[in-house]
Amino acid sequence: MDRFFIYDCNGRIVGNPAGYRTIRGAIQQQDRKGSPAWRAIWAAFAERKAREPEHTLISSVHKPGGY
């Protein structure tokens, strides 16, 4: 079964390293304020935004190799 992964703005997997069974589960973790995935996403985004002010991608959820 394919799994869904949460990627930060740098393309690194955050949250559950084994992925999520459903896209809904991944999105819930991505959007749940205070979750480990949410904290990792926003920390990476703040760091990237400081280096590249025009950067806009915050995170993405998809299966490996696909957008």
Domain limits, the chain: 5-62
Which pLDDT value is given to residue 22? Answer: 96
Which pLDDT value is given to residue 1? Answer: 67
pTM for the whole thing? 0.91
Give 5-62 pLDDT, tens digit per residue.
999 999 999 999 999 999 999 999 999 999 999 999 999 999 999 999 999 999 999 9
DSSP string, 26-67: HHHHHHSTTSHHHHHHHHHHHHHHHH-TT----EEEE-TT--
